[in-house]
């Protein structure tokens, strides 16, 4: 699963609770891995950045091979879920997936990205788009939380009163690594 932010970690937890055999969290921010592991991720992987002058697509292909090897995924995972929306992660997901696998795009980044069509075709991948809040999402989420299968309170790292909402937005904009989920209380 590409992206260990809030949505990525929760989807990783759902995958585990619904019987996924092995879940690997991929991110470039190391501090997110502790949270991901506390939600059942079996392994984590932080891709290297390309060296100056390196073709980005060639680099991503090499990272895909490294990811599959280091995480014991053989020819690649059956299903790749991409939550970041970053172009390089979309590409990494396609190159990482095994032949005949499924690639699910949930992250929304730039409107248009360089998409490795040839890899999709030669691997015979199934491509699935996903957006949150479709029919059945809320009842399933409520069931997972109320049953105790997924604990969400520990994801909240900061709370603000409504009249301090601007401070909350400023904190999120700073992009600090120890800030995961910021909550703003309703009007009292």
Domain chopping of the chain, boundaries: 6-129, 152-188
Which residues, listed in sequence order, are joined to residue 105 by a DSSP beta bridge?
Answer: 82, 129
Kindly indicate the confidence band of residue 26, based on its pLDDT and cuts at 50, 70 and 90.
very high
Give the residue from 1, 163, 159 showing the smallest Cα distance to 80: 1
CA–CA distance, 5 with 81 (Å, rounded to integer):
13
Q: What pLDDT score does 132 carry? A: 67
Residue with tokens 């879920």: 81
CA–CA distance, 35 with 19 (Å, rounded to integer):
20
Give the residue from 168, 27, 44, 176 showing the smallest Cα distance to 92: 27
Contact 3, 107 (CB under 8 A): yes
Contact 110, 28 (CB under 8 A): no
CA 8 to chain centre: 4
Q: What pLDDT score does 3 carry? A: 84
| pLDDT single digits (tens) 93-140 | 999 999 999 999 988 889 899 899 999 999 999 999 887 667 777 777
CA–CA distance, 150 with 141 (Å, rounded to integer):
9
Q: What pLDDT score does 18 carry? A: 84
- Token pair of 173 as six digits: 């904009």
CA dist list (Å): 73 to 25, 67, 77, 97: 13, 8, 6, 9
In CATH, which superfamily holds the domain spanning 6-129?
A: NAD(P)-binding Rossmann-like Domain (3.40.50.720)
CA–CA distance, 171 with 186 (Å, rounded to integer):
18
CA–CA distance, 101 with 126 (Å, rounded to integer):
6
Contact 50, 57 (CB under 8 A): no
| pLDDT single digits (tens) 35-75 | 899 888 999 999 998 888 888 889 999 999 999 999 999 99
What pTM does this model have?
0.84
Kindly indicate the confidence band of residue 92, based on its pLDDT and cuts at 50, 70 and 90.
very high
Contact 82, 105 (CB under 8 A): yes
């Amino acid at each position: 699963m590409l992206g260990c932010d809030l949505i990525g970690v929760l989807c990783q937890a759902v995958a585990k609770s619904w019987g996924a055999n092995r879940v690997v969290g991929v991110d470039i921010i190391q501090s997110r891995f502790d949270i991901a592991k506390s939600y059942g991720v079996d392994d984590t992987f932080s891709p290297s950045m390309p060296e100056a002058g390196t073709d980005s697509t060639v680099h991503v292909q090499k990272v895909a091979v490294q990811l599959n090897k280091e995480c014991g995924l053989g020819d690649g995972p059956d299903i790749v879920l991409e939550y970041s929306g970053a172009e390089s992660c979309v590409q990494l997901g396609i190159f990482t997936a095994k032949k005949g696998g499924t690639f699910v795009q949930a992250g929304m980044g730039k409107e248009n990205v360089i998409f490795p069509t040839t890899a999709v075709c030669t691997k015979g991948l199934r491509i699935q788009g996903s957006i949150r809040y479709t029919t059945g999402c809320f009842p399933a989420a409520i069931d997972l939380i109320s049953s105790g299968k997924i604990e969400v309170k520990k994801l909240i790292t900061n709370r603000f009163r409504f009249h301090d909402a601007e401070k909350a937005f400023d904190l999120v904009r700073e992009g600090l690594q120890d800030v995961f989920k910021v909550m703003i209380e309703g009007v009292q």
